[in-house]
Amino acid sequence: MKHLIAPSVLSADFANLQNDIEMINRSQADWFHIDIMDGVFVPNISFGFPVLKAIEKHASKPLDVHLMIVDPDRYLQEFKQAGAENITVHIEACTHLHRTLHAIKDLGCLAGVAVNPHTPVALLEDIIEDIDLVCLMSVNPGFGGQKFIENTYKKIRTLRSMASGRNDGLLIEIDGGVSNQNALKLIQAGADVLVAGNAVFSAADPVSEISGLKNLNPELIGS
Ligand code: DX5
Ligand code: ZN
């Protein structure tokens, strides 16, 4: 499968959001990555339903919603109604992860699990068949523009081998510090979806930055 690119709206210009949404619409991006932060699970607050609904109105690609919130079960239905196609919850925020993932699937969404940098992917061993997408956090969640944590490559390989034969369609998404410096190596390690906030929105030409990330060829050796 050709890898997917999901620009993170967290780094967009919120005073000109429609402009940035239209930029993503006409780019080679595959999804909109939407970061919801509650100021409790992570030390930052981003935005909620009114902004999500405004994004949904203009976006022509699926909304990949990353919930950095405690007790996500309370809001799953509302996120679906606000336009989410993928809903990702944090393993660290879920007491009954199996129940939560099936509630997301019952809504007709892809069910994702995000894993903080310190959380071993081995914790997914007994739930791997129930997951559509694993979001490996390659920074501590809460802020855009942080430095990529190198241990992520090892986690991608461990996860891919865990899923092999049990969930071959599992999507592995990498979130945090992704740029054209590490994107090729991430795909070669087994990543399927690259989230990029700062790299896209701080680029002089965000559309061509997205094309650069999309058109990497994992078969290229030594590049
Ligand atoms: C961090 C968020 C990320 C963030 C990535 O908590 O989950 O999606 O927007 O931003 P960059 O690509 O700037 O690290
Ligand atoms: Zn995110």
| Nearest residue to 92 via CA among 114, 121, 110 | 114
Q: Which two tokens stand for residue 195?
A: 């989230």
CA distance 30 to 24: 9
The pair of three-digit structure tokens given for residue 148, joined into one six-digit string: 């990529």
Catalytic: which of 38, 64, 132, 175? 175
What is the rounded CA–CA span in Å between residue 172 and residue 183?
Answer: 13
CA distance 215 to 73: 37
Q: What is the pLDDT of residue 23?
A: 98
CATH superfamily of 4-214: Aldolase class I (3.20.20.70)
**pLDDT tens-digit readout, 90-120:** 999 999 999 999 999 999 999 999 999 999 9
List the beta bridge partners of residue 86.
Answer: 64, 110
Q: Over the stretch 174-213, which tens digit does the pLDDT of each residue have?
A: 999 999 999 999 999 999 999 999 999 999 999 999 999 9
- Residue 218 CA to ligand 1 center (angstroms) comes to 23
Nearest Cα to 211, choosing from 1, 20, 9, 23?
23
Please tell me whether the overall predicted TM-score, pTM, comes out greater than 0.95 for this model: yes
Residues with Cβ within 5 Å of ion ligand 2?
Answer: 35, 66, 175
Domain ranges of the chain: 4-214
Task: Tell which atom from ligand 1 comes closest to the C-alpha of 141.
Answer: 6
**Cβ-contact 146, 179 below 8 angstroms:** no
